[in-house]
């Protein structure tokens, strides 16, 4: 068995003891560059914090209550190519971290060699001594060694900081994958709801076309018997043609909505999962929080990824600083050497060698200083990116809360507008048939009803998609 000498053991112990210096700046999480709590004002409704759910702790399958919508989201999570790319990026970052981490430890290799040599030993002796008998000598040399080659002893933390930077890059890739999942869930739900709204938009246009068609036929009949004018006929036809155009447009939108869902899902969404109309009830949980601390933004995956990148940049400063100090590497070999294979592991055949090397930069013409300045500038850029991520998240949450605080009032007003428009149309039609009001009043009432129906549908879509956006902006969708 091979044994290290006391001097060699002390060398290793000293190297490992000294390998504790870290020149990276101490990382302190920056203060949030936003207000400590969410905005307040007439647009923001007060919420019941006790009963509100926490989006980051609420699984998407619990948040979305429509079975067909959940089915489409499952398809997307299983097949979407953007998510697959993000998963592959995580695997790449994990592999790179393992490669970098391996530099902390020596690479141990074994070598076995044999040398066969024949030389005219006798002839050489005869030439030197004058008269020795000529002959030949053969030497067979065998060796077996185990050792390390050029292992850098990390006295100043260069390798440890590079390893930490790569580890944080791996963590950032995981958070980016989480962000991709959250965005995919929100985009899929929004596309599904948009298709549902377009299905209702098509039905409204078809119903309106039938109503406008009846009005047009009535006006044409009245024109033929001399009661209505040609102007009234043309006015009735314009509204009828507008409804026909809206049917074509809605039909196109539905096809495009399905194409968008297929792309998000990564496969063809079957007919049984597609929406036929807007759900009667909100297809999501409604008890989302209102009064929030800005600390909840730290649970957003994009903010977490930005912080990991900031920590990595901070570690790279330590690696750049370590380049100014001596680099110590160690090459060592331990093994046996003999003139015969049978004696290779015999007594007295042991050999060892230790060759430490120290390198101190003297003149590098600003290379190390430039690398350090680059690392610091990168840290500053990552800090600004992190702060912008927080500010962007704050703005997205605030916008969603502002819409949430006013949408119920808007929906109530639009519903009342639609009901009153329907009542006005019925009354104007009765008065027109009774000869009290001109045809133009009936036509205007019919147009107003059509517009009110579309506006109410658009408001319902805004309410439902805003709930999805608020869930996403608060970090929901990972479970």
Mean pLDDT per 10-residue run, the chain (479 residues)? 41 48 90 86 72 83 94 96 94 94 87 77 46 54 81 88 95 96 96 96 93 85 84 86 93 96 95 92 84 86 96 95 89 77 69 84 89 95 96 93 91 95 89 79 88 95 94 88
CA 123 to chain CA centroid, Å, is 78
User: What fold is seen in the domain 107-153+328-359?
Assistant: Outer membrane efflux proteins (OEP) (2.20.200)
Question: Is residue 325 within a helix (H) or strand (E), and if so which, with residue range?
Answer: none
**What distance in Å separates the CA atoms of residue 328 and residue 342, rounded to the nearest whole number?**
38
Q: Say how many C-beta atoms besides its own lie within 10 A of residue 145's C-beta.
A: 19
Q: Report the CATH architecture of 26-104+156-325+370-473.
A: Up-down Bundle (1.20)
Q: Report pTM.
A: 0.85
pLDDT recorded at residue 150: 82
Would you say 51 and 153 are in contact if contact means Cβ atoms under 8 Å apart? no
Would you say 264 and 76 are in contact if contact means Cβ atoms under 8 Å apart? yes
**What distance in Å separates the CA atoms of residue 259 and residue 242, rounded to the nearest whole number?**
26
Burial pattern 428-467, b for ≥16 Cβ within 10 A else e, equals bbeebeeeebebebbbebbbbbbebbbbbbebbbbbbbbb
pLDDT recorded at residue 136: 55
Would you say 289 and 53 are in contact if contact means Cβ atoms under 8 Å apart? yes
pLDDT recorded at residue 340: 62
Q: Is 107-153+328-359 in the same CATH topology as 26-104+156-325+370-473?
A: no
**3-class secondary-structure state, position 433:** helix
Rg for the chain (alpha carbons), in Å? 39
pLDDT recorded at residue 189: 96
The full set of domain ranges for the chain reads 26-104+156-325+370-473, 107-153+328-359
Longest Cα–Cα distance in the chain? 150
DSSP H helices in 148-272? 158-224, 230-265
pLDDT recorded at residue 5: 44
Sheet of 137-153: strand order equals: 108-119, 137-153, 327-338, 350-359
Write out the E strands in 347-416: 350-359
Spatial CA neighbour of 190 closest among 475, 465, 470, 474: 465
Q: How many helices (H) and strands (E) does the chain have?
A: 10, 4
């Amino acid at each position: 068995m091979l044994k290290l000498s006391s001097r060699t053991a002390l060398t290793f112990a000293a190297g490992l003891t000294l390998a504790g210096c870290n020149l990276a700046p101490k990382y302190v999480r920056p203060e949030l560059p936003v207000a400590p709590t969410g905005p307040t004002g007439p647009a923001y409704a007060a919420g019941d914090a006790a009963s509100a759910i926490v989006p980051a702790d609420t699984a998407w399958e619990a948040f979305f209550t429509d079975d067909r919508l959940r089915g489409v989201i499952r398809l997307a999570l299983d097949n979407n190519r953007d998510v697959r790319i993000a998963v592959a990026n995580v695997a790449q970052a994990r592999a790179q971290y393992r490669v970098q981490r391996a530099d902390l430890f020596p690479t141990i290799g074994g070598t076995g060699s044999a040398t066969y040599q024949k030389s005219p030993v006798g002839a050489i002796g005869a030439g030197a001594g004058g008269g020795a008998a000529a002959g030949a000598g053969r030497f067979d040399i065998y060796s077996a060694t185990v050792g390390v080659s050029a292992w850098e002893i990390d006295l100043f933390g260069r390798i440890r900081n590079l390893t930490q930077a790569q580890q944080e890059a791996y963590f950032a890739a995981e958070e980016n994958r989480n962000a991709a999942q959250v965005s995919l869930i929100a985009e899929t739900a929004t596309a599904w709801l948009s298709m549902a709204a377009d299905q209702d938009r098509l039905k409204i246009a078809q119903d309106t076309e039938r109503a406008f068609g009846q009005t047009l036929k009535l006006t044409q009949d009245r024109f033929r018997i001399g009661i209505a004018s040609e102007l009234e006929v043309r006015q009735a036809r314009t509204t009828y043609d507008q409804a026909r155009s809206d049917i074509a447009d809605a039909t196109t939108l539905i096809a495009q909505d399905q194409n968008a869902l297929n792309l998000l899902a990564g496969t063809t969404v079957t007919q049984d999962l597609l929406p036929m109309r807007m759900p009667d009830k909100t297809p999501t949980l409604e008890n989302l929080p209102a009064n929030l601390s800005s600390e909840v933004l730290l649970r957003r995956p994009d903010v977490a990824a930005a912080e990991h990148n900031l920590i990595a940049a901070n570690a790279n400063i330590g690696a750049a600083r370590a380049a100014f100090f001596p680099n110590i590497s160690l090459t060592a070999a331990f093994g046996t050497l003999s003139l015969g294979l049978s004696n290779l592991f015999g007594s007295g055949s042991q050999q060892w060698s230790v060759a430490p090397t120290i390198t101190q930069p003297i003149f590098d013409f600003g290379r190390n200083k430039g690398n350090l300045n680059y690392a610091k500038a990168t840290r500053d850029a990552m800090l600004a990116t992190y702060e912008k991520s927080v500010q962007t998240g704050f703005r997205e949450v605030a916008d969603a809360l502002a819409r949430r605080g006013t949408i119920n009032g808007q929906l109530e007003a639009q519903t009342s507008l639609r009901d009153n428009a329907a009542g006005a149309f019925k009354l104007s039609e009765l008065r027109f048939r009774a000869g009290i009001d001109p045809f133009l009043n009936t036509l205007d009432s019919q147009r107003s009803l059509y517009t009110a129906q579309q506006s109410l549908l658009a408001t319902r879509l805004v309410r439902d998609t805003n709930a999805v956006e608020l869930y996403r902006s608060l970090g929901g969708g990972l479970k």
